[in-house]
Amino acid sequence: MENNNLKSEEFNQVKENPSNNNRVSETGNLESDVVIDEQPGHEETHKLKEDEQEINETDNKIIQLEERYLRLQADFDNFRKRTQKERLTVIQKANKELVVSLLPILDNLERALSNADNLENPLAKGVDMVYKQLLEELKKQGLKSIDALNLQFDPNYHQAVAKQPSDLDSNIVLEEYQRGYLLHDEVLRPSMVVVSE
């Protein structure tokens, strides 16, 4: 009984003395601190799971970005190759058109030389020099003349404009009216020829 009285007396003292109230509230806070200290274990586990999930998501994003980067790089390489090929095609087409436009000039120079009375004439020498210089420059660009005389007629390289009786086998080229040319192994103009019957 005495013990109970002591407790109630202490209780009353605490109740009456405000400084003791702070001690009680501190004790109350201490209990809540203990409760809070117990919860972080559960929260930390939850936070670890969230962090792990975030890391996995980040890894997946990195993998996707790497794949996207590789696709973009491959697309760029393909674009670069396609652009180079198109540029080369445009250049070759322009060269071809230029060379085709120069062929009649080459033909006229050949005719002038074949009809010259005297190749020692200064005018004939000048025409011959221009002809050889033009032909040399065109050869540098890939122009080659098609051989025709005394060869078997080939419709890929020759165009027959007439047939003549001959002691030779049939379809042999007897004459060449107009020389044919190749540009990088592509027929620019077939040779106009006369073939044997």
Closest CA to 184 of 137, 139, 118: 139
- Sheet bearing 191-196, strands edge to edge: 158-164, 191-196, 173-178
Q: Are 149 and 176 in contact (CB under 8 A)?
A: yes
Q: In a 3-state reduction of DSSP, which class is residue 175?
A: strand
pLDDT, tens digit, 9 for 90 and up, residues 88-139 = 888 888 888 899 999 999 999 998 888 887 778 888 899 999 999 999 999 9
pTM equals 0.56
155 vs 193: CA distance, rounded Å: 11
Residue 110 tokens, joined: 């050949």
Q: What domains sit in the chain, N to C, each tagged with a CATH number? A: 56-141 (3.90.20), 143-197 (2.30.22.10)
CA atoms within 13 A on the CB side of 132: 6
182 vs 145: CA distance, rounded Å: 6
pLDDT, tens digit, 9 for 90 and up, residues 20-79 = 444 444 444 444 444 444 445 677 888 888 888 999 999 999 999 999 999 999 999 999
Name residue 59's amino acid: D
Residue 19 tokens, joined: 């400084």
Q: Is the pLDDT of residue 162 over 60?
A: yes
Diameter of the chain by CA atoms? 158
What residues pair up with 150 in beta bridges, in sequence order? none
Q: Is the pLDDT of residue 81 over 50?
A: yes
Give the list of residues 6+ apart from residue 14 with CB closer than 8 angstroms, or none. Answer: 20, 21, 23, 24
User: Of how many residues is the chain composed?
Assistant: 197
